[in-house]
Amino acid sequence: MNVKKIKEVLSWPLVFLLFAMLTGCPGVEQTTDADEGVAKVRRSIILQYTRQGRLTPAVRESLMALTTSDELQDYAKQQDQAYLEQLPIDGRLCMEMLNEVVGIGPRFSGSGGMLKQQQMLDKYFSDLGGEVEYQRFKARNPISQQGVETVDMANMIIRWHPKRTRRILLCAHYDTRPFPDNDPDPEKRRGIFVGANDGGSGVAVLCALADKMEEFDSEYGVDMVLFDGEELVYDSSRDPFFLGSTHFAREYAAKLPRQKYVAGILLDMVADADLQIYQEVNSRRMAPRVVQQVWSTAKRIGVTELRPSARHEVRDDHLPLNEIAKIPTIDLIDFDYPSPQKRETYWHTTEDTADKCSAISMAHVGWVVWEWLQGLE
Ligand code: ZN
């Protein structure tokens, strides 16, 4: 995916930070380095809980009463586990699946890692009762000077409730960028890129949603599609993006299938521990109804990480789906990785690793999608 322009908007995290500073500091009593360390840990927990919409007065009181960093961190860990228990989407399962795909290593199109990932996911989805199918095609190898002219591509399609004729498309790309070519350290730009958030997170959330599909009681069926070749890109100014989604959209448009997609959601970079998902500009333009439905769902259930304003215009797999296949599809993406307040980015760097990702973030995104599915009329 690439980003065309960035819109600066009112910075909510800054507001939260001010809030946390005003309300979360022990104030004048904080004198020693140790005290400051404890206050910093407390502030960051309060900030995170505020962002996640789960700072209750009781939790705040407990946090204020604890006096060491260890106590605060242990408390937060316990709170996180208890909170995850209550969510309808299993965040620990998300994290487990994310770790599993990241553990494979690089998974760029045509690689051994991609093949391993397909085998792993094939078994995972089949065991849950999904019908797995591959949409195979060949793409020109962008680095054909190495003697191999084409790359074998495969979109993976997993169907749930296949007899239902009105269908919903839930998708993500499952290939990873060949290299971390945006790394600030030039020496690392030909290093290893594992794509935890960019490549892993969408897959992980779909895995957790798959676990709910049996109980999805609706007139709608769901197809999950994992796109290959979203970024078989060695040179952003030369190599084409979205190979898998473009192929999928063309096939769909050419065949006019009996089973139609009513709407779609694309998940990309949804695991950031500092999750803040703004409405993506192209999604608002091309699929405004879906944007409106999804954001009002998030508001209703209290997932505050979905911010009701626009910030980035992102070119991603949803473009061919809207433009070629005419499936109104939005891109749920947190492009500020780690945060709008930070200049650095982990995007396409060696820093895009599982430790930057959060089970709660993924569970929240999955929960919004799950509620949206259930509310469809
Ligand atoms: Zn990417």
How confident is the model over 228-236, as a mean pLDDT? 93
Q: Which of the four pLDDT bands, split at 50, 70 and 90, describes residue 81?
A: very high
Q: 91-375 domain in CATH 3.40.630.30?
A: no
Confidence grade of residue 148 (pLDDT, cut at 50, 70, 90): confident
Please indicate whether residue 36 or residue 161 has the higher confidence score (pLDDT): 161
Evaluate whether 98 touches 198 at the Cβ level (below 8 Å).
no
Distance 198 CA to ligand 1 centre (A): 5
| CATH 3.40.630.10 domain position(s) in the chain | 91-375
- The alpha carbon of 319 and the centre of ligand 1 are apart by a number of angstroms equal to 15
CA of 232 to the centre of ligand 1 (A): 9
Q: State the pLDDT at residue 352.
A: 98
Task: Calculate how far, in angstroms, residue 23's C-alpha sits from the geometric centre of ligand 1.
Answer: 38
pLDDT (average), residues 75-86: 96
Q: pLDDT confidence of 188, banded at 50, 70, 90?
A: very high
Measured in Å, residue 349 CA sits from the centre of ligand 1 at 10
Say yes or no to pLDDT of 9 above 50.
Answer: no
Q: What is the pLDDT of residue 25?
A: 46
Cβ atoms < 10 Å from Cβ of 371: 17
% the chain with pLDDT above 90 = 84
Q: Is residue 20 over pLDDT 80? A: no
Sequence-ordered list of residues with C-beta below 8 angstroms from that of 63, at least 6 positions apart, any chain: 24, 42, 45, 46, 72, 75
Q: How confident is the model at residue 33 (pLDDT cuts 50, 70, 90)?
A: confident
Rounded to the nearest angstrom, the distance between the alpha carbon of 231 and the centre of ligand 1 is 6
Mean pLDDT of the chain: 92
CA of 202 to the centre of ligand 1 (A): 12
Which has more pLDDT, 24 or 141?
141
Kindly report, residue by residue over 286-303, the tens digit of the pLDDT.
999 999 999 999 999 999
C-alpha of residue 46 to centroid of ligand 1, in Å: 31
Residues with CB under 5 A from ligand 1 (ion): 198, 231
Mean pLDDT, rounded, for 135-155? 89
- Residue pLDDT, tens place only, 195-230: 999 999 999 999 999 999 999 999 999 999 999 999
Give the model's confidence band at 30: pLDDT under 50 very low, under 70 low, under 90 confident, else very high: very low
